[in-house]
Amino acid sequence: MPSVDSSHPPAVQIEHTCATLLILASKAEILRQIGAQSPSLGKTPVEIAEEYLRANIAEPFQLDRLIEITGASASTLLRDFRRRYGMPPLQYLKNCRLEAAHRELATTEPDETTVTQVAMSYGFYHLGRFAAYYKTAFGELPS
């Protein structure tokens, strides 16, 4: 804390100390509020990317967007993602989409939706590939 010249009267010294403490307390409160408003604060770039991918499961994959929201470089993000999940983010997203489609197909009545509708809602526009991915992942055809 900066000191006030001892030649100043005690009242000035007290005012200066109080002002300094008030500034420090205000700064701490601002940082606390920012932390409360930013749930991603304190999370690793991989955790932020994973949350983003799950929240935007049907959106087209954009590595640039992941880099932007995580603040990590492409090489760091890809390396750390592989280290944590054993696969790159695009493969992780595809697996999340397959799991979501599998859950939906398992819990929806056949007359309520079609395999095509479910596949397309999770970004699988080539139905032959979707069926092959699905069979590899779950050991059965989506139908």
Tell me if the pTM is above 0.85.
no
* Mean pLDDT computed over 119-140: 91
One domain for residues 129 and 70: yes
Q: Residue 40 has what pLDDT?
A: 53
Q: Residue 108 has what pLDDT?
A: 83
One domain for residues 79 and 122: yes
If one counts the domains in the chain, the total is 2
Residue 127 CA to residue 62 CA, distance in Å, equals: 22
One domain for residues 33 and 51: no
Domain hosting 14: range is 1-38
Distance of CA 140 to the CA centre of its chain: 31
- Which range among 21-25, 43-47, 94-98 has the greatest average pLDDT? 94-98
C-beta separation of 135 from 141 below 8 A: yes
* Mean pLDDT computed over 118-124: 90
What band does 86 get if pLDDT is binned at 50, 70 and 90? very high
pLDDT at residue 25 is higher than 70 = no
Residue 120: which of 58, 60, 61 has the closest Cα? Answer: 58
One domain for residues 11 and 80: no
Give the CATH number of the domain where residue 102 resides: 1.10.10.60
Q: Residue 96 has what pLDDT?
A: 92
Distance of CA 67 to the CA centre of its chain: 11
